[in-house]
Amino acid sequence: MSHRLVFTEHYTKRAAYFLKRHPELEKQCLSILQLLELNPYHPSLRLHALGGKLQALHSVSINLSYRITLELLIQDDRIILVNVGNHDAVY
């Protein structure tokens, strides 16, 4: 079952900035987003719920250094992308 990715304005701006600084990660980011659409629970994404002020959000890993934060609304089959960046930037 496929899910629908929703790109927020904030995410789109952050992703453009992120990819400008890290063009070598563009293909990897695209692969992560495609996998997220197909199966958000795939083990390689390392999906996990966040806590504290970000408790409504989840995170997936691009690699060991970079993350994408998202709202996971599986009941509507929607995944709302919120932010992308290194650990400190998204948390």
58-74 pLDDT, tens per residue? 999 999 889 998 888 77
> Is 4-84 assigned to CATH 3.30.2310.20?
yes
Asked whether the beta carbons of 87 and 14 are under 8 A apart, the reply is no
- Cα separation, 91 vs 84, in Å, equals 10
Chain centroid, CA 9 distance in Å = 14
- Mean pLDDT, range 14-29, rounded to an integer: 94
In sequence order, the β-bridge partners of residue 8 are: none
Q: Would you state the structure tokens that stand for residue 36, as one six-digit string?
A: 């997220």
- Cα separation, 86 vs 56, in Å, equals 19
Spans of all domains in the chain: 4-84
Amino acid identity of residue 23, one-letter, is P
Query: What is the average pLDDT value for the chain, to the nearest integer?
Result: 89
The predicted model scores a pTM of 0.85
